[in-house]
Chain A
């Protein structure tokens, strides 16, 4: 017989989804309050009041998401991969500190993430940008490669680990290799998220990414699941048509 793992796992996932959905709705109907998970900032409303199903089309008549797309799963248990979970805080190839750069040195987000207002992507800075501050001169670079001790001595007032990390940047640049940063905010491939539109609408970076200036290591503070997006879109009165975000 024909068997496909993809289909199979999908079917099982759907089955489980439907099951939990039923449990959730039953629980609601009985008026029992589901346990509040600490990491979800907005608890109300869990299920916004839906308008009635449009009989002619079979679509929620204002294009609202269907039941199982909302954040009720986050509410009970998170089933997804750890990369997509709140609190995801991967180790980075360089111990880059937003505290040092943003809080202490008062750098603007867009100095490094320069394309955030121009493109759907917020650029990760070119290695060149890092090196622009951290020793662009050839002498310093060759010193960093050839004589780490002397290089460390040339940047006093920094912790030894910081000196070592700066050296790594110079090494990457010298070798002409990109820094393999680990993605913190991993979106599924079908999401069409446009940074530019949000920045131009006056949404602060912090509203989605949290207080990054306070983060030694960047952490995912929002679920960034569909319900979370739709909640905000609804509050702001912006489009909640599926095709706004789904590609």
Chain B
């Protein structure tokens, strides 16, 4: 392998404190030396060849492998770019039926699970555990061999005296088959724990439609979507798939209207056309009212009369007055909502997410399913042919913990889940697990559960393993290793096979063989004429086998009486409205933290939360009025306390949260897992949850109230964009689609929400900035061949931030850490700006990806004293790093604030350097950097085109952000070519350029106005 062994010094983001006197001394001594040292890197460099050649390995040429993302259970297809045998970038698989090319922030960051500096590198056993005299807990591990570890496990498995339990995350495909076989032959109970699984929805389907599972939703077809809290753009089931479906029609100007019901402005609520900020736990009342109203208005005429009668009687209590009182929203909005549902040709009702995960989650899910049934959506927008079947169960794991506590459990094996962190602390998993004979962790990180384990047999991460994922019928998605394991780890399948002594069906020796045996069945069922070997290699190449799905499902109505009976239930939080100090605790997952599973990935820690814009750590979100009543101000630490625990968090005041709610993000406050997870301190919200079970098997998140008071100390969350207001600058614009019943697509008209007509001098037709061509003082530049440009369709941008992480991965952007992030020194080249306009009743939230605009009249260029930044003939605002002397004039003069200065050389712990993209230089200290439109990709495409003697074709260059976008909101190409997609979009009536009408910068990034539906 002839790669360059980097000898760059690993700098540390530390400040050397040195006295002035000392400084002058050194200055005197080293003036001469400094001249040489300035450009010297010193050490000898080597060229290391391969020992044996590989067919597909050409030094300097990337090799791509297709696989499946294993970060959540959605099952998105990915393709991984490898250079010289190392994975450097994760991208979406364009041919995959689930995600179709995009991949979310978490999936992008799966590389950091591979190159986690705190990974367990070989099997470990506990050498010392206890408490020191000063009260600190001591945990020391020592290494052992795989044979020793596996022998310990195998011996334990032979002992049938006590119960044996295997706890995993969601599994499917061959892994699930192997686990089932393992469980049977070793008499082990298999429990799945994943707190974000929509189990209530799946169980409600069973009660109402007679089949267990989460249905497949057709967002494109629905005119009106009523969503009770399901965070479909964040963590709910399959966010990339849903966002893609949502955006498709929105870009065409025929969007589905999304009405979101949640007591907090989540990312999904922000993207909804109408957001109903209801009291926590009151969604069921609204659902019941709508259900009764639909039946009253004659919907559901195909249904049996007994069902309709059942609905009438069980929903009778939900009168309009009661609903208004319970939900705290205006009567008109409820009437309008009912009107919409009645009149829509096609509708869709969803429920889920943290705000629905109360103890009565099943009741709401049943009401949702019944609404779909009554509205005739089943078979239309709700499909029962390709259902997801989540296995996670709070009831089962709670029972297991009780058995552990009772000393009935001899062995516990944990893989792919972290119950010590993600279970409510009040369940006391920590204490119970100490009474287990042998606790084995197979997690690749030393997380909270692994810290409690007796032995750690580290499994490979997904990028090093074979496996498959079968999320829904008709999608068989393969997982293949994209590189050799970095450390002495094994795939989980191999660990199980060895522990079983290899006695499995098919007689496979290793998990790869087992997987192939399992896929022989798929091959047979496929009816393919090819041999299995050819079928297999085609599947490996394409990332799986995706037969076409038939949508032949019929509504199977099988409403059980118990389902209707559930509607009588309701959630009642006895929030101390009188005393006022008690609030409902709403823990919520987000695109960056999920349930805390990816906390040790610095890209995600440094990614701003799309709504709050906070990095590195959690916060407590409260309504400012409520906070004022409790004497809490911004900058205070609030103390949340209840019977189960206490948490101190910096407060974030937001008018977009229900006054009765204090919302706390999940996924922070790790006590183990690694340096980055521990750095992002702010407390694990699971410490405050009550251990009670709900009426479904789903995790119960919304079940506790907390006493809120001012805590000790002052601290603010590290917020990157505190401003919500656009100050009439029209940065993020929108057009409105008139309310249903008014004119359709032709009626798109520009947003009057924030004063139109302020389009500077010039102004084209309709006052759109895109057509604005003012008089130019200077001669215009010529771009003879290419003029690179980007179009950003805000109508399709959900603010999911996948592009931001993709940019980090592609461009070797350093992670600055907590201390520097507090000083606003986050290095991200691309950020998602968030603006909120309008009243609380009709809130308009905008997301706007902001990167270097590559202006034709760039303010940064003329102020550079050393010509380190200039405009090149392809329309790029070039930045030559090694010419930069760090005056930072360009940063100060940039109107878009997209330039970033390297104040330090940031720490790169081993093995993170292997992730670096070799085509992008790592910038040194004292140098300015910014978005390059992924210059390396442009060069690669130009190189490729030149080989073939042609120009770069449209769509051939895809910068990392463009590639990653789940909704294809970003389009890149040559603006000189009138037929390129970006050119066409730049002439859209929705096109405009940010700030161009104020300062005539002539950006090469064209934004397309957001499409808002009037509701």
A: which residues have CB within 8 A of B?
Answer: 1-14, 16-17, 56-60, 63, 66, 69, 79-81, 83, 90, 115, 118-129, 172-173, 176-183, 186, 188-190, 192, 194, 196-197, 200, 241-243, 246-247
With a cutoff of 8 Å between Cβ atoms, the chain A residues found around residue B38 in the complex are 9-10, 12-14, 16
Asked if B23 contacts A123 (CB within 8 A), the reply is: no
Known: A13-B34, A243-B935. 14 other contacts (CB 8 A): A4-B925, A7-B886, A9-B30, A58-B863, A63-B870, A81-B40, A118-B61, A127-B50, A186-B45, A190-B921, A197-B943, A243-B876, A247-B935, A247-B939
Most A CB contacts (10 A, CB to CB) among B1, B864, B882 go to: B882
Given the known interface contacts A123-B49, A127-B51, A178-B49, the answer about A3 and B867 at a Cβ–Cβ threshold of 8 Å is: no
With a cutoff of 8 Å between Cβ atoms, the chain B residues found around residue A180 in the complex are 46, 48
Q: How far is the CB of B1001 from chain A (nearest CB, A)?
A: 13
User: Of A66, A172, A196, which contacts B943 at CB under 8 A?
Assistant: A196
Asked if B53 contacts A1 (CB within 8 A), the reply is: no
Q: How far is the CB of B681 from chain A (nearest CB, A)?
A: 26
Q: How far is the CA of A211 from the CA of B946 in the complex (A)?
A: 29
Give residues of chain B (944-962) contacting chain A, Cβ–Cβ below 8 Å: 946-947
User: Of B11, B51, B871, which contacts A178 at CB under 8 A?
Assistant: B51
Q: How far is the CB of A113 from chain B (nearest CB, A)?
A: 9
Q: How many A-B residue pairs have CB under 8 A?
A: 204
In the A-B complex, the 5 residue pairs with the closest CB atoms: A13-B38, A12-B34, A121-B60, A119-B60, A59-B870
Q: How far is the CB of B19 from chain A (nearest CB, A)?
A: 8
Asked if A63 contacts B873 (CB within 8 A), the reply is: yes
Instruction: Tell me whether B936 is interfacial, beta carbon within 8 Å.
Output: yes
* Stretch from B2-10, B71-79, B245-253, B461-469 forming part of the interface with A: B2-10
Give residues of chain B (59-90) contacting chain A, Cβ–Cβ below 8 Å: 59-61
Most B CB contacts (10 A, CB to CB) among A4, A172, A177, A192 go to: A4
With a cutoff of 8 Å between Cβ atoms, the chain A residues found around residue B23 in the complex are 1, 3
Instruction: Tell me whether B41 is interfacial, beta carbon within 8 Å.
Output: yes
With a cutoff of 8 Å between Cβ atoms, the chain B residues found around residue A5 in the complex are 16
Q: How far is the CA of A166 from the CA of B724 in the complex (A)?
A: 71
Q: How far is the CA of A205 from the CA of B669 in the complex (A)?
A: 58
Residue-wise interface mask of B (693-725) relative to A, using a CB-CB cutoff of 8 A (1 in contact, 0 not): 000000000000000000000000000000000
Give 24 pairs: A residue, B residue, CB < 8 Å, sorted on A.
Answer: A3-B18, A6-B11, A10-B926, A13-B35, A16-B34, A56-B778, A57-B862, A58-B867, A80-B40, A81-B41, A118-B58, A124-B47, A126-B53, A127-B51, A128-B51, A182-B44, A183-B45, A192-B936, A192-B939, A241-B872, A241-B878, A243-B878, A243-B939, A247-B936
With a cutoff of 8 Å between Cβ atoms, the chain A residues found around residue B874 in the complex are 241, 243
**Cβ-closest chain B residue relative to A119:** B60
Given the known interface contacts A10-B38, A126-B49, A181-B46, the answer about A59 and B881 at a Cβ–Cβ threshold of 8 Å is: no
Give residues of chain B (820-871) contacting chain A, Cβ–Cβ below 8 Å: 861-864, 866-867, 870-871
With a cutoff of 8 Å between Cβ atoms, the chain A residues found around residue B46 in the complex are 180-183
Q: How far is the CA of A127 from the CA of B50 in the complex (A)?
A: 7
Q: How far is the CB of B45 from chain A (nearest CB, A)?
A: 4
Instruction: Tell me whether B218 is interfacial, beta carbon within 8 Å.
Output: no
Instruction: Tell me whether B880 is interfacial, beta carbon within 8 Å.
Output: yes
Q: How far is the CA of A61 from the CA of B340 in the complex (A)?
A: 61
Q: How far is the CB of B160 from chain A (nearest CB, A)?
A: 45
User: Of B3, B4, B862, B878, which contacts A58 at CB under 8 A?
Assistant: B862
With a cutoff of 8 Å between Cβ atoms, the chain A residues found around residue B58 in the complex are 115, 118-119, 123
Instruction: Tell me whether B42 is interfacial, beta carbon within 8 Å.
Output: yes
User: Of A63, A178, A189, A200, which contacts B1 at CB under 8 A?
Assistant: A178
Q: How far is the CA of A60 from the CA of B41 in the complex (A)?
A: 30
With a cutoff of 8 Å between Cβ atoms, the chain B residues found around residue A57 in the complex are 861-862, 870-871
Q: How far is the CA of A190 from the CA of B878 in the complex (A)?
A: 14
Instruction: Tell me whether B52 is interfacial, beta carbon within 8 Å.
Output: yes
Asked if A194 contacts B943 (CB within 8 A), the reply is: yes
User: Of B8, B18, B885, B946, which contacts A189 at CB under 8 A?
Assistant: B8
Instruction: Tell me whether B134 is interfacial, beta carbon within 8 Å.
Output: no
Q: How far is the CA of A232 from the CA of B249 in the complex (A)?
A: 53
Q: How far is the CA of A178 from the CA of B3 in the complex (A)?
A: 12
With a cutoff of 8 Å between Cβ atoms, the chain B residues found around residue A69 in the complex are 883
Q: How far is the CA of A241 from the CA of B786 in the complex (A)?
A: 14
Asked if B4 contacts A183 (CB within 8 A), the reply is: yes
Given the known interface contacts A196-B943, A197-B946, the answer about A16 and B51 at a Cβ–Cβ threshold of 8 Å is: no
Q: How far is the CA of A200 from the CA of B945 in the complex (A)?
A: 13
Q: How far is the CA of A9 from the CA of B921 in the complex (A)?
A: 20
Instruction: Tell me whether B137 is interfacial, beta carbon within 8 Å.
Output: no
Asked if B50 contacts A178 (CB within 8 A), the reply is: yes
Asked if A181 contacts B49 (CB within 8 A), the reply is: yes
**Cβ-closest chain A residue relative to B22:** A3
With a cutoff of 8 Å between Cβ atoms, the chain A residues found around residue B878 in the complex are 241-243
With a cutoff of 8 Å between Cβ atoms, the chain B residues found around residue A246 in the complex are 880-882
Asked if A173 contacts B51 (CB within 8 A), the reply is: yes
Q: How far is the CA of A196 from the CA of B920 in the complex (A)?
A: 18
Given the known interface contacts A58-B861, A189-B6, A189-B8, the answer about A126 and B870 at a Cβ–Cβ threshold of 8 Å is: no
Instruction: Tell me whether B922 is interfacial, beta carbon within 8 Å.
Output: yes
Instruction: Tell me whether B128 is interfacial, beta carbon within 8 Å.
Output: no
Asked if A119 contacts B52 (CB within 8 A), the reply is: no
User: Of A83, A125, A188, A197, which contacts B49 at CB under 8 A?
Assistant: A125
Residue-wise interface mask of B (877-900) relative to A, using a CB-CB cutoff of 8 A (1 in contact, 0 not): 010111101100000000000000
User: Of B50, B871, B924, which contacts A59 at CB under 8 A?
Assistant: B871
With a cutoff of 8 Å between Cβ atoms, the chain A residues found around residue B935 in the complex are 243, 247
Asked if B926 contacts A59 (CB within 8 A), the reply is: no
Given the known interface contacts A118-B61, A196-B943, A243-B876, the answer about A178 and B35 at a Cβ–Cβ threshold of 8 Å is: no
Q: How far is the CB of B374 from chain A (nearest CB, A)?
A: 60
Most B CB contacts (10 A, CB to CB) among A118, A194, A247 go to: A247
Q: How far is the CA of A127 from the CA of B11 in the complex (A)?
A: 34
User: Of A79, A115, A172, A192, which contacts B39 at CB under 8 A?
Assistant: A79
Q: How far is the CB of A46 from chain B (nearest CB, A)?
A: 20
Q: How far is the CA of A18 from the CA of B863 in the complex (A)?
A: 19
Q: How far is the CA of A190 from the CA of B935 in the complex (A)?
A: 13
Q: How far is the CA of A78 from the CA of B23 in the complex (A)?
A: 28
With a cutoff of 8 Å between Cβ atoms, the chain B residues found around residue A129 in the complex are 53
Q: How far is the CA of A17 from the CA of B36 in the complex (A)?
A: 11
Asked if B939 contacts A9 (CB within 8 A), the reply is: no
Given the known interface contacts A9-B38, A12-B35, the answer about A66 and B883 at a Cβ–Cβ threshold of 8 Å is: yes
Asked if B39 contacts A80 (CB within 8 A), the reply is: yes
